[in-house]
Amino acid sequence: MKGVGGTASFDRAANALLITLMRTVAIALAVLLSGFVLSEPAPYELWLAGLIPIWALFGLRLSRHIAPLVVLLVLFNIGGMIAMTQMADLGKAPLYIAVSLFLAITSIFYAAVVESDPKLISVMFKAWIFTAVGTAALGILGYFNAVPGASLFTRYGRATGGFEDPNVFGPFLCLPALFLLHRVMTAGSRVALLAVPPLFIIVFGIFLSFSRGAWGLFVFGAAIVTLALFIQHRSGATRLRIILMCIAAITALAVGIIIALQIPAIATLLEQRAQLVQDYDGNRVGRFARFALGFQLAMEKPFGIGPLVFGPMFGEDTHNIWLKTLMDYSWLGFASYLILTVWTIVAGFRILLREREWQPYLLCAYAAFLGHVALGSIIDTDHWRHFYLILGLVWGMMALEQRHQTASKVSGRLAMQPINSMANGIPDAGHYTAGMNCLPDDRNGTSANTTARVQQASLLQDRHDKLAPAGSHCAR
């Protein structure tokens, strides 16, 4: 019998290990595929279209912590359906809204996955770094015509890597670049040195995209990460290291630009792209003029004008996510998107510097999210796959923080229960918390058991509810 029990335990452990491995590979492959979108539907969509239903079938759990994300994204897409009613000819509008809804589902999926298994955050970031290095390398090689079919990885004389548009390629690279920068400034010397080569490749890819939005996004995100690290770390030595790294980075950037300017093609395009206002921005029917006309029209059209209608009407797309939501998703979509953005910014900021195992990932994802929100004022981001990935990451880690707080409160109540029970004449109440006090107090986030507490939160609450005798007064 003992041998049979041991075999059963071994089988269960082997099955658990296999399931964990499959989950890890599946989510890593999804993130890897996000860096290669040369046609639509891309392999990324096809993979997730199969992965999400299978994951849901075998236990994808949507908790109350990500319920606001679900509700607001659903309302956003309902707004798009309302806007479709204003169109005489639907054309490609149903497909456009279907893609919007699918991307919203991917964001919810990532948030749920992160909340259910915090260990997958590291897997996702490593996969993103790997695919960023790969797609950046393609962009660099394509820009210098160093590989056959180089034109496939460039457009308008700008690197695009595995993307169709350099203005999407550049921003995609920013989050992995920010995380590698974080590693360089905070990790041990060996890890920091290993982070330098991929950081260089990715940053060079951002540069060769000649996307002003990507340049600004990376600089803005790097400033946020650096400032947050400077505030978070009170050690003089750590702060000195951060300052020295900033000086070294600025110096390396200046030297790199000087070297790049020696190449005529780069110098010409850089001079053109470095202008703050391009001809297509400031002329009579340019981007900024369309902003004014579009917002004026939006005030007269509470139901919007329908997806993809603005471009044919004004000659160019909106190039502004707020105008885009008003025109393509109605006032309901605009309100939903605005609430979701503000909610994410405020809730993320409240927990940004708390000492948790996932805090470095949250800091970089939050900085990238802020940058994309700012970038949305000059470009449409509603169909950027990686934006929904960032949104899902941030909400997943916000949910983890809420679970951590719940676990801490439940542990605290259970620790106090024997005292309160004895005070109420219940002599055997001590067994209610047997084994619970062995968990060290990590309410300040310094314990290595943070993840364990988060995963045990619901179990602790269930145990507390079942064991508490009727009429007992537990500490609250």
pTM of the model: 0.84
Detail the DSSP E strand segments found in 213-304: none
**pLDDT tens sequence across 3-46:** 556 677 777 788 878 888 999 999 999 999 999 998 878 899 99
| Cα–Cα distance for residue pair 55/44, rounded to 1 Å | 16
Please say whether the beta carbons of 87 and 309 come within 8 A: yes
Detail the DSSP E strand segments found in 110-252: 154-155, 158-159
Write down the pLDDT at residue 476.
33
Please say whether the beta carbons of 448 and 355 come within 8 A: no
Q: Decide which of 11 and 172 is more confident.
A: 172
Domain segments of the chain as ranges: 2-386, 404-467
| Cα–Cα distance for residue pair 171/386, rounded to 1 Å | 9
| Cα–Cα distance for residue pair 167/49, rounded to 1 Å | 25
What would the DSSP string read from start to end of 413-457? HHHHHHHHHHHTT-TTGGGGGTTTTTSPP-TTS-STTHHHHHHHH
Structure tokens at 330: 């109605």
The b/e string for 366-386 (b: 16+ C-beta within 10 A; e otherwise) is bbbbbbbbebbebbbbbebbb
**pLDDT tens sequence across 398-424:** 999 999 988 888 777 776 665 555 455
Task: Identify residue 219 by its one-letter amino acid code.
Answer: V
Please give the angle made by the CA atoms of 221, 225 and 226, to the nearest 5 degrees: 115
- How does the average pLDDT of the chain come out, rounded? 84
Q: Decide which of 154 and 282 is more confident.
A: 154
Write down the pLDDT at residue 292.
81
**pLDDT tens sequence across 205-227:** 999 999 989 999 999 999 999 99
DSSP letter (8 states) at residue 275: -
Above 70 in pLDDT, residue 473? no
| Cα–Cα distance for residue pair 408/419, rounded to 1 Å | 18
Task: Identify residue 177 by its one-letter amino acid code.
Answer: A
Chain position carrying tokens 């590291």 = 122
Please say whether the beta carbons of 397 and 454 come within 8 A: no
**pLDDT tens sequence across 223-247:** 999 999 999 888 888 889 888 888 8
Comparing CA positions, the residue from 450, 452, 223, 237 lying closest to residue 355 is 450
| Cα–Cα distance for residue pair 271/134, rounded to 1 Å | 27
